[in-house]
A and B are shown apart, each in its own frame.
Chain A
Amino acid sequence: MLRFTLTRLLQAIPVLLAVVTITFFLVRAAPGDPLSSDKSMPPSVLRALEAQYNLDQPMWQQFTGYVGNLLQGDFGPSFKYPGRSVNELIAAGLPTTAELGLYAMLVAILIGISAGVFAALRPNTAQDYIPMSAAMLGICMPSFLLGPLLVLVFGLWLDWLPISGWGDTPGDKILPAITLGAAYAAYVARLSRGGMLEVMSQDYIRTARAKGLPQWVIVIKHGLRGGLIPVVAFLGPAFAGLLSGSFVVETIFQIPGMGRLYVQGAFNRDYTLIMGTTVLFATLIILFNLLSDLLSVWLNPKLRQQYQGSK
């Protein structure tokens, strides 16, 4: 298991290096530059700004300089926000995004697994169709529609919940978490239903039934562990995705997170901000994929045996 983990971590190094290299040159190849604005600036001003951001250096020198700083954990200064380092911007946005992602994931797991298991217990009946139809609706309904709808009903009509902000009042996290978590809940519901259906037809479940175990023990103790493997495999990359932030949800609810940073970085050609958020996102994907693989191994006795080399 330790060897597996170390191997995967070592494999991540060339992947990250490739991400850095490709993104660095792609971003610079894109038309438009970070210093341009609708107001023209005198050439002397432009030269001063270029010197400040090392844009007056040859490309290879800019690249090696960037990688050198990156190895020291320095993402460099933002172009759009003079005086703010990209590290600082990420440090400001990431905790908020992580918190939102966590709540959204909680919504997804609670609602998704409950609905999926509930549907799998009586396949092809109303008990199956209703939650699965709702799940399909959840997958199909985009957050830019669901968010404003929730705001309209719970915020403006009923006046139960705040409609924007983050951390100002206890309730301002509810609507964003539901909006962001709904689509994930729908996926989790479909995956857990599929997983449970497969597991509930296994021999060992039949044996458990034959032994006279109550249904809830069979489902929770024996069924869930195997039935949730597809969900676990999905949750890793999903959580990494959540941590990259959701531009739409953050925009609708005025949340100071990573999603807006990422998108604005691209629009503003903020080279260092794009690089920083991309490298961070790539690292998160690698880490969470590894975590979900480790969790899958732990949940699946066959795989566990394979990696541990013993029963």
Chain B
Amino acid sequence: MASFFKVHHRVHIFALLILTVSTLTLGGCGSHESNVERGNSEKILYWGNGTEPQELDPHITTGVPEANIQFALFEGLVTQAPKTLDPLPGMAESWSVSDDGKVYTFKIRKNARWSNGDPLTADDFAWSLWRAMHPKLGNQYSYMYYPIKNAQEFSEGTIKDFSEVGVSATDGNTLVIELDNATPYFLGLLAHHSYYPVHRSTIEAFGEPWERGTQWTRPGNMVTNGPFRLADWKLFKHISVRKNPYYYDTDKVALNGIQFIPTENITTEERMFRAGQLHVTNELPQDKIQYYRDNYPDQLMNKPYLGTYFYRINTRGTTNKALSDQRVRHAISMAINRDQITKKITKGGETSSYTLTPPGTAGYTTTSPLEYNPERARELLTEAGYPDGNGLPEIELLYNSSESHRKIAVGVQQMLKKELNIDVRLRNEDWKVYLASENAGKYQMSRASWIGDYLDPNTFLDLWITGGGNNRTGWSNKEFDSLILDQAPAAQTQEERFALMKKAEAILLNELPVIPIYTYSTKYLVHPSVKGLDANLLDNPLFKYMSLEDTE
């Protein structure tokens, strides 16, 4: 009996295990068509979108994942050429600019429609801008409207009457926007989500116009005007958009829809791509870049991106007196071997940066006094009273917790020790703590980055005006402020304006409250079946021009 039991029991256990595994495994069998295969046949693009979008309201959101979805759902007065980002007619079929560059008159398409079939008029744009600037809404992109006459005053609540703002619908299809100054990049701003129109009656049906986060952006409620419209939103699972039949150019839209998948983890995302779950990833793990470069170069999107990685320096002298001396700051900059950082540490196609504005931003390229020159760095340090680093207090380098930032910080730490005999202490903090430290000036040197909002050097240079919220270095220069705030906006030509910008950037690079390290590059994967996904400096996904072709 005992031996019977032994056999019986083993069989029992084994049978249980087999049963469990086989039941589960059988459940897994069946249709094993991948998303990519299914998507190619149905013309549905599977898009890795980074994180779950916070919201879809274009006047509230600030992140890239949200902007990606909004590119599909909305369209502004102008749209952009896929590669060059040159302004193209969008909801406005044409526009004219006054001789002084201050008044833009847009003609709205007569066949412009909302996704529910309602006609889209100039009034819709005027109302949308009123709502977007409304002080109660809390639009974090309110600075995007500042070129418009009195927009800043209205959004800050100092002007209550919107009729004083330079926005007016003169008739059903004519919108006039008046600016404070000629703003050459203004058309580029209009393609940004903060300028998208929103459907008035839908918003008013779900609350006050300035109420954040009402139900108007839910499937079934949301009315938009772009090439696609919202079909489904499953929290943390996917957002589905489908072709909008009322879009004026719907016949030219090749995709039937897009599935935006929130892919929080880049390692998981890369595996999903390999398993055919995604057409496009949001990112690519650093350690996989070389593998794809070597084996699947046609699937790797690795192009310049309008962003700069830099180190902020607290110039106030309150946390480290030595850093208030620009000679010390230049010595640090000269001791940092940027090529080594981009080739040995980041390895993602980034380029060493010696200016804050990425070269070639809308045709703007400036010269830089910065260079890698340890010899000169040592001389500068001696001039500043710290020969061979003697007497220079230990510098603390702050970065937000991330493996890639840590590696760069360790690299810089070693470079400064080796070349200048400066001791660097690393301090990492989680994102929110790091932001609090930076904002409160409780740092000496900190890792930072800036991605351009629009294609113009101004997006990188106006950060550094005195007391600007993004400055955080304590640095202040009256001439710089005047160049950025007064002189450049008043310039008559783009050449003149760029010359003033270069002057401003020269001041910035001479006094060096920030040390540019490298210019970003895009790093993500694209399945060969995806066509029309062109690289552009802002990495804007222009879904209207994308299509899917079977690669079998």
What 0/1 pattern do residues 490 to 529 of B give for CB contact below 8 A with A?
Answer: 0000000000000000000000000000000000000000
- Number of A residues with CB within 8 Å of any CB on chain B: 69
Answer whether A49 and B272 are a contact pair too, CB < 8 Å, given A40-B470, A42-B143, A77-B213.
Answer: no
| Residues 183-225 of A at the B interface (beta carbon under 8 Å) | 214-216, 219
| Residues 148-179 of A at the B interface (beta carbon under 8 Å) | 148, 151, 155-156, 159-166, 169-174, 177-178
- Candidates A32, A155, A177, A216; contact of B433 at CB < 8 Å: A32
For the complex, give the distance between the alpha carbons of A252 and B272 in Å: 10
For the complex, give the distance between the alpha carbons of A49 and B135 in Å: 10
- Candidates B136, B142, B263; contact of A254 at CB < 8 Å: B263
Answer whether A81 and B55 are a contact pair too, CB < 8 Å, given A110-B20, A161-B25, A215-B5.
Answer: yes
A309 within 8 A of B: no
Chain B residues touching A, range: 35 or more
What 0/1 pattern do residues 247 to 274 of A give for CB contact below 8 A with B?
Answer: 0000111101100110000011100000
For the complex, give the distance between the alpha carbons of A108 and B139 in Å: 49
A111 within 8 A of B: yes
Contact in complex: B277, A251 (CB < 8 Å): no
Shortest distance between the CB of A118 and any CB in chain B (Å): 5
A8 within 8 A of B: no
Residues of B within 8 A of A33 (CB): 432, 436
B234 within 8 A of A: yes
For the complex, give the distance between the alpha carbons of A52 and B30 in Å: 50
Contact in complex: A174, B28 (CB < 8 Å): yes
Residues of B within 8 A of A251 (CB): 264-265, 268
- Candidates A45, A88, A163; contact of B277 at CB < 8 Å: A163
B435 within 8 A of A: yes
Interface-located stretch among B8-16, B75-83, B286-294, B350-358: B8-16
For the complex, give the distance between the alpha carbons of A38 and B20 in Å: 49
- Candidates A44, A161, A214; contact of B1 at CB < 8 Å: A214
Contact in complex: B156, A44 (CB < 8 Å): yes
B212 within 8 A of A: yes
Answer whether A83 and B214 are a contact pair too, CB < 8 Å, given A37-B140, A215-B2.
Answer: yes
For the complex, give the distance between the alpha carbons of A160 and B432 in Å: 41
A41 within 8 A of B: yes
Contact in complex: A36, B439 (CB < 8 Å): yes
B60 within 8 A of A: yes
Q: Among A36, A45, A166, which residue has the most Cβ atoms of chain B within 10 A?
A: A45
Residues of A within 8 A of B268 (CB): 164, 251-254
Residue ID in chain A nearest B2 by CB atoms: A215
Answer whether A36 and B236 are a contact pair too, CB < 8 Å, given A84-B213, A155-B275.
Answer: no
User: B-side interface residues toward A, CB under 8 Å?
Assistant: 1-2, 5, 8-10, 13, 16-17, 20, 24-25, 27-32, 52, 54-55, 57, 60, 62, 135-140, 142-143, 155-157, 212-215, 217, 234-237, 261, 263-265, 267-268, 271-272, 274-275, 277, 430-433, 435-437, 439, 448, 468-470, 472
User: A-side interface residues toward B, CB under 8 Å?
Assistant: 31-34, 36-42, 44-46, 48-49, 52, 77, 80-84, 88-89, 92-93, 107, 110-111, 114-115, 118, 121, 148, 151, 155-156, 159-166, 169-174, 177-178, 214-216, 219, 251-254, 256-257, 260-261, 267-269
Given contacts A39-B140, A41-B142, A254-B261, could you give 13 more A-B pairs where the C-beta distance is less than 8 Å? A32-B435, A36-B436, A41-B469, A44-B135, A44-B157, A81-B52, A82-B212, A83-B55, A93-B236, A110-B17, A159-B32, A174-B28, A215-B1
